[in-house]
Amino acid sequence: MKARIVSDKVSLIGAVDWDRRLFDSLIPLPDGTSYNAYLVRGSEKTALIDTVDPKFTDVLLEQLAEVPALDYIVANHAEQDHSGALPAVLERFPKAKIVCSERGKGMLIDLLHLDDDHFAPVADGDSLSLGDLTLKFVYLPWVHWPETIVTYVPQEKLLFSCDFFGSHLATSDVYADEGRVYEPAKRYYAEIMMPFRAIIEKNLEKLQAYKIKTIAPSHGPLYANPQFIMEAYREWVSGAPKNKVVLPYVSMHDSTRRMVEHLVSALVERGVAVEQYDLTATDLGKLAMALVDPATLVLGTPTVLAGPHPQAVFAAYLANALKPKLKFVGIIGSFSWGGKTVDQLTGMMGNLKVELFEPVMCKGLPRAADYQALDHLADGILSKHRELLGAQA
C-alpha cells in the first residue's frame, strides 16, 4: 500500500497485515493488524516515526524509495513489531539519528545489535525542530513497556501514540470507524495494557496538558475524534466494575457443566449479567476482553490428578497476569476422591485484590444440596454487587 495522506506534511506508511492471526505466538488476531509508520516532512528536516515488523521491511523501504534524505528515526517503543526494520532503514539512510528514550536506546541495542553512535536519546519534554514543525517527546512508561515515549507535533495537534490507543485491526481506512474499532481497541487494551492500569491512568492525566486533534497509533486506524478512544480508556481503566460475572469453565464428565448452567440461570434470575466461556474453545482475547469490567470472576473446573484442570489453571494465570479490576472471585467444580483444586487456584491469583466466595465443590454429579449451595453463591454475589454498586445492581 502506498503512502496515505494524514496532512500536508504527514503521511501514513507502513504495512497492513491482513492475514496474521497470532501475535507474539500468544494473542489471537481475528481482524489482522497493521504496523503503522509515519513520515513527517518539516521545512528543514524529515523524520520517520517508528518502523515496521521485520516481515514488512521491503514494503517500508519501497515507500521510502523517493525520500531523498532522512534526518531522524523516532523509535517510540523498542519492541520489534515497531523497530524490526530499523537496521535496514539505517543502511538506506546511514546519517539518520535514532531518537528514543535513554532506556529505549539500551533495549534497541540489545534487541537489534545497533551501534551506539546511531542514537540521539531524548528526555521527557525534550523537543526537536524540523523547521516549521516540532517534535515534542513525552515519556509515557508502561504503555506497555518501560521505555515508551510518544511524539507530539504541536503545529498539527497530532499525537503519535505508538501502542497506546492501538487496535489490532487490518483496514484500508485511514481513520477509525468508531463502531468498528471499539471492540478491537478494547481487546487490545485487555491483552496488553490492562496489567498497567494505575500507570495508564496517570499517563492519561499527563496527556491532558496537550491539545490533541488527531491520535496516530502504531496499530490500527487513526482517531480523528481523540476523545472517543481517550474516554473509552478512562472507562476501562478507572470506571466502576459492572454488575456482571465472567464464568470461564471446563468440564470433563458433565458435572461441572451442570453446575455452571445452574449458577448462570440463578444469577440471571437475580438480575446479574453473566458471560460464560468454555475454556476448551474460547479465544484468549475474548476472555481477556471479558475481564475488563466485571465485578466477579467464577472459575469452573473438574479435579484432575488432585488439582484443577490445566485449562482452568491457564484462566487463573491469565486473570492474575492481567490484573483486572475484579472485586470478587468464586470457584466451583467437581471431584471424585479429593484433591487441592481450590488451594491451587487461589494460590495462583495473588495479584488480584479480591474477596473470595466460599467455593462450591461437589463429589461426582451434583445433588440437590450442591444446587442449593450454588443458589446460595448466587445470592452472595448479588448481595456483594449491591454493596459495591448500589442501585446499579
Say what the pTM is.
0.93
Taking the domains of the chain in order of start, what are their residue ranges? 4-238, 243-386
For the packed helices 226-238 and 178-188, what is the interaxial angle rounded to 10 degrees?
A: 40
CA 390 to CA 393: how far, in whole Å?
A: 6
Q: Output the 3-class SS for 207-224.
A: HCCCCCCEEEECCCCEEC
Q: Strand 214-217: give its sheet, edge to edge.
A: 127-129, 134-139, 149-153, 158-162, 214-217
CB distance 69 to 93 below 8 Å: yes
Residue 272 buriedness (CB in 10 A; 0-12 / 13-18 / 19+): buried
DSSP H helical ranges for the chain: 57-63, 80-83, 86-92, 102-112, 178-188, 197-207, 226-238, 255-269, 284-290, 310-322, 341-347, 368-389
CA 55 to CA 69: how far, in whole Å?
A: 24
Largest pairwise CA distance in the chain: 79
Place of cell 503503522: 36
The CATH number of the structural domain formed by 243-386 is 3.40.50.360
Place of cell 521485520: 54
Provide the residue count of the chain.
393
Rounded to the nearest 10 degrees, how much is the dihedral formed by the CA atoms of 119, 120, 124, 130? -130
User: Three cell numbers at 282?
Assistant: 474460547
Domain boundaries 4-238, CATH class: alpha beta
CA 292 to CA 236: how far, in whole Å?
A: 6
pLDDT of the chain, 393 residues: tens digit per residue: 789 999 999 999 999 999 988 888 888 899 999 999 999 999 999 999 999 999 999 999 999 999 999 999 999 999 999 999 999 999 999 999 999 999 999 999 999 999 999 999 999 999 999 999 999 999 999 999 999 999 999 999 999 999 999 999 999 999 999 999 999 999 999 999 999 999 999 999 999 999 999 999 999 999 999 999 999 999 999 999 999 999 999 999 999 999 999 999 999 999 999 999 999 999 889 999 999 999 999 999 999 999 999 999 999 999 999 999 999 999 999 999 888 999 999 999 999 999 999 999 999 999 999 999 999 999 999 999 999 988 655
